[in-house]
Amino acid sequence: MEEAATPLLVCSDIRKTYGDLVAVDDVSFHILPGETYGLLGPNGAGKTTTINIIAGILDADGGEVRVAGQPMNPRATRAKAAVGYVPQDIALYPDLTASENLVFFGRLVGLSGTTLKERTREILELTGLTSRAEDRTATFSGGMKRRLNIGIGLIHSPQLLILDEPTVGVDPQSRNAILESVDAMANNGMAVLYTTHYMEEAERLCDRIGIIDDGKIVAEGTQRELVEKLGGHDKLHIGITGHGQPAVNATAMLDCVIRVSLGDAAMELIVSDARSSLAEIVNTIVETGAEITGIEIEEPNLEAVFLHLTGKALRD
């Protein structure tokens, strides 16, 4: 990913209100080709409304969305042709077969003839549904429906793929397959806008993350940037035997230690960088005569950042 690349998606101060409710409040961000951007926020934060505006389903009341240089709105057919949209709920005809669903949406995105036939075959293969191509989707498992739901979004090889919570209700095996597919698509140059309730998915997939709350982007950056921006500290749990108080007093004097407390047969230290200061801390404890029984490092994560910014857990 090159910084100089032209963003594929640019959202500038987009705004949407419903009466007095401001659902999206001057949201701005961009996504580069090949980049996976995670949009995280608690329920009701404005994620889906933002996505619906970006996908051209809803008109924004203010601001601008551009996809591949084209302005996006419900009438913008050229911009929509560059977007693959995978909604949160499985949006398929259950009384049509997998291939009929793909052909239907393929036609709506402008494919026809041998191109449509070939893409349908490729998507069925990609989603592992070739053997069930002629079965009605009502007979599919939840995971199979999810895979087909994503496949429909990919039928026209879009430049920007919008995935709104694509792994909800999916078994671990299918979930892993979906995440690997998303990773592979981003590596092939596709820009991905990804929302999820699962923090580990965001941590694993997303190059950059925007945290949205009450319709506003409250923080944005890489995972590391977000943690650093919020002054995140590591936590060390060190199990000890014998008297712990001398060890507490000694470690409290170290520059790298911000705070230390003694619990039941264990010390808890808040440090700026656990990995670089671990040796010094261990030596100090050993010198006081205490015996170390175990060490556990807890680095600040996205969950903590999210909680700090929104005051809510991600699944609230």
Partner 1 sequence: MKALTIANVTLRRMVRDPLSLFFVFVFPLLLVLVIGATFGDGFQPRIGIVEGNGPTAEALAARLRALDGFTPRTVGSANEAADGVARGAYEAAIVIPNDGGNMLAVQVVVRQGSSARQIRTVIEGAVATEAASLRAADVLVAEGLRPNLRTALATVDRVEERVAGFSVVERSVDDSPNERPIGAFDLGAAQQLVLFTFLTSLSGGAALIQSRQWGVSRRMLATPTSAATVITGEALGRFGVAIVQALTIAVGSSLFFGVYWGPLLPAGIIIGLFAAVSAGASMLLGSLVDNDQQAGSLGVFLGLAAAALGGAMVPPEIFSPTMRNISHLLPHAWALDAFTEIVRRGGGVGDILIELGMLALFAVVILVAAATAFRKTLTTS
Asked if 8 and 159 touch (Cβ cutoff 8 Å), the reply is yes
Q: How far is the CB of 109 from partner 1 (least distance, A)?
A: 5
Q: Is 96 exposed, middle or buried (0-12, 13-18, 19+ CB in 10 A)?
A: middle
Q: How far is the CB of 77 from partner 1 (least distance, A)?
A: 4
Q: Given the DSSP bridges, would you call strands 191-195 and 234-241 parallel, antiparallel or unpaired?
A: unpaired
Closer residue to partner 1 (CB): 94 or 263: 94
Q: How far is the CB of 167 from partner 1 (least distance, A)?
A: 17
Closer residue to partner 1 (CB): 75 or 229: 75
Closer residue to partner 1 (CB): 44 or 239: 44
First to last CA, the chain: 34
Count of CB atoms situated within 10 Å of the CB of 66:
17
Q: What is residue 296's DSSP assignment?
A: E
Number of C-alpha atoms within 13 angstroms, CB side, residue 202?
A: 30
Q: How far is the CB of 220 from partner 1 (least distance, A)?
A: 24
Q: Given the DSSP bridges, would you call strands 266-271 and 257-262 parallel, antiparallel or unpaired?
A: antiparallel
Q: Which tokens sit at 92?
A: 């398929």
- Tell whether the torsion through CA atoms of 9, 12, 18 and 21 is positive or negative: positive
Q: How far is the CB of 103 from partner 1 (least distance, A)?
A: 9
Q: How far is the CB of 61 from partner 1 (least distance, A)?
A: 12
Q: Binding residues for partner 1, per CB under 8 A?
A: 18, 23, 48-49, 52, 55-59, 74-75, 77-78, 80-81, 83, 85, 87, 89-96, 100, 104-105, 107-110, 136, 152
Closer residue to partner 1 (CB): 61 or 203: 61
Closer residue to partner 1 (CB): 149 or 196: 149
Q: How far is the CB of 101 from partner 1 (least distance, A)?
A: 9
Closer residue to partner 1 (CB): 137 or 196: 137
| Helix intervals (H) in the chain | 47-54, 77-80, 98-108, 113-126, 142-154, 172-187, 199-205, 223-229, 245-252, 274-287, 302-310
Closer residue to partner 1 (CB): 92 or 240: 92
